[in-house]
Amino acid sequence: MSESVHMKAYRACLLYFLPDAEPNQAAVFEDDGLLVVGPNEQGLQVVQAVGSYQALQARFAQVPVTHWPGRIIAPGFVDMHSHYPQTNVIGSPADGLLPWLEHYTFPEEKRFADPEYCAKAASFFIAELLRNGVTTALTFATSQPCSVTALFEQAQAQRLRLITGLCLMDRHAPADLLNQKMPHASVDATEQSLLDSEALIQRWHGVDRLGYAITPRFAPTSSDAQLRGAGELAAQYPDVWIQSHVAENQAEIAWARALFPASRSYLATYADFGLLRERAIYAHCIYLNAEDRTLMSASGAAAAVCPTSNLFLGSGFFDYAAADEAGFAYGLGNDVGGGTSFSPFHTMLAAYTVGREGQSKTGLSLSPQHLWWQHTAGAAQALGLEGVVGNLQPGCEADFVVLNPQATPLLARRKALANSLDELLFALIVLGDDRVVEHCHIATS
């Protein structure tokens, strides 16, 4: 126990997940628990032990304990999809996805040509994620390299575990938002976007807690050459992530099908360019057919389900029953600014609503622990970060939130009547927001 001098312990209720259990039954709740954290061999603070206070107190008697009576320590939330340059367009009224992009999103994204604007936006975005309890995020930047650099720098400073990448977009968007050719350069804008992506991979991927994602915005805004180049990069750097959008709404699907008629489906377009593999995260995945779902599962790609965005834009409803039948991985994303909230509680509640919808697909009631899993351990698994984040199992990075289940009068009243773990978690999901998150603890190094 010579290292106990560098350890810290936290006593409160504990919520975490069994790694190999069904998501419906994976949650473990300790009424009086102890979480012990300390440095691993690389000096990064990780979970050393988790369990009941009674069982662990003697073993860690030398370790200073912070006691939070009546509070719940839970894994930091893992968010699989958002757009940091859209923070300012959250809550903008529009007639569906394509008009929303044209009237709000593209004009705002143009401002990210200015590094100072990027740094301010990135700093706010990351602080807002942390304030809401999100400690790992996969997010879009814009097609300007300075937007990516600014976000990595701010995430590094605030120690958020962050994955992002240069938005690849060489056609079908306003000219000043497309990837740009360098003055006097011998390569065109498409080639430049791929060179910039590779330079950013080499600069940032694996530095501290940062990761790179090859990021075609979506198939319609990339040429064949750009998608082919992105696929080649993905093959060359297999532990780099890929992120894009697929099958969000019908107009978008029709457009993608018209532009890539040789592919079997919109999703298959990505497969045809080498962009469907493990660590490839596709936002939405609403309008997939059985063959598409098999392709998701066989390739190891995962869906980022974005329910507040899908409800806000009227896009449609992710089919949980069909996803589970096909066996592909998924987790939740806030999809700010199409999404309406940074709060994981709002996203989990919207996921429940989407699951219930039974007109366009099978309606079901996702259990509260399954909803919570989708935003923590399940999302980590979908990102290929199981055992790294999203849980409090020994070895996981010490990212956790301290929740106050009595943060509002109504929540306190409802919580007092909860007779089971699922009732407690559902009260938090339905009534909770940033007021519940008292502390957000990030692993230090």
Query: Footprint of Zn ion on this chain (CB under 5 A)?
Result: 283, 335
Report in angstroms how near the CB of residue 283 gets to Zn ion at its nearest.
5
For Zn ion, the closer of residues 132 and 393 by Cβ is 132
One DSSP character per residue, 145-191 reads HHHHHHHHHHHHHHT-EEEE-PEE--SSS-GGGS--PPTT-SS-HHH
Alpha-carbon distances, residue 44 vs 39, 60, 161, 201, 443 (angstroms)? 5, 19, 13, 22, 7
Distance between CA atoms of residues 236 and 238, nearest Å: 6
**Torsions phi, psi for 176 (to 5 deg):** -80, 0
For Zn ion, the closer of residues 178 and 283 by Cβ is 283
For Zn ion, the closer of residues 319 and 335 by Cβ is 335
For Zn ion, the closer of residues 220 and 368 by Cβ is 220
Distance between CA atoms of residues 160 and 187, nearest Å: 35
Q: Give 3-state DSSP helix, strand, coil % of the chain, rounded to 5.
A: 40, 20, 35
Report in angstroms how near the CB of residue 409 gets to Zn ion at its nearest.
36
**Torsions phi, psi for 324 (to 5 deg):** -70, -35
Report in angstroms how near the CB of residue 332 gets to Zn ion at its nearest.
13
For Zn ion, the closer of residues 283 and 377 by Cβ is 283
Report in angstroms how near the CB of residue 18 gets to Zn ion at its nearest.
31
Going by the DSSP 8-state scheme, the letter that residue 221 receives in this structure is G
46 CA to centre of own chain: 21
Distance between CA atoms of residues 40 and 6, nearest Å: 10
Q: Residues 161, 441: contact at Cβ < 8 Å?
A: no
For Zn ion, the closer of residues 309 and 391 by Cβ is 309
Report in angstroms how near the CB of residue 245 gets to Zn ion at its nearest.
5
Helix, strand or coil for residue 261?
coil
For Zn ion, the closer of residues 240 and 304 by Cβ is 304
For Zn ion, the closer of residues 12 and 167 by Cβ is 167
258-267: b (≥16 Cβ within 10 Å) or e: ebbeebebbb
For Zn ion, the closer of residues 34 and 78 by Cβ is 78
Distance between CA atoms of residues 136 and 281, nearest Å: 14
Report in angstroms how near the CB of residue 301 gets to Zn ion at its nearest.
16
Report in angstroms how near the CB of residue 333 gets to Zn ion at its nearest.
8
Going by the DSSP 8-state scheme, the letter that residue 104 receives in this structure is I
Q: Which pair of structure tokens corresponds to residue 394?
A: 């020994």
Which residues, in sequence order, are CB contacts of 370 under 8 Å at separation 6+? Answer: 23, 24
Report in angstroms how near the CB of residue 83 gets to Zn ion at its nearest.
6
The tally of CA atoms less than 13 A away on the side-chain side of residue 244 is 30
Report in angstroms how near the CB of residue 318 gets to Zn ion at its nearest.
14
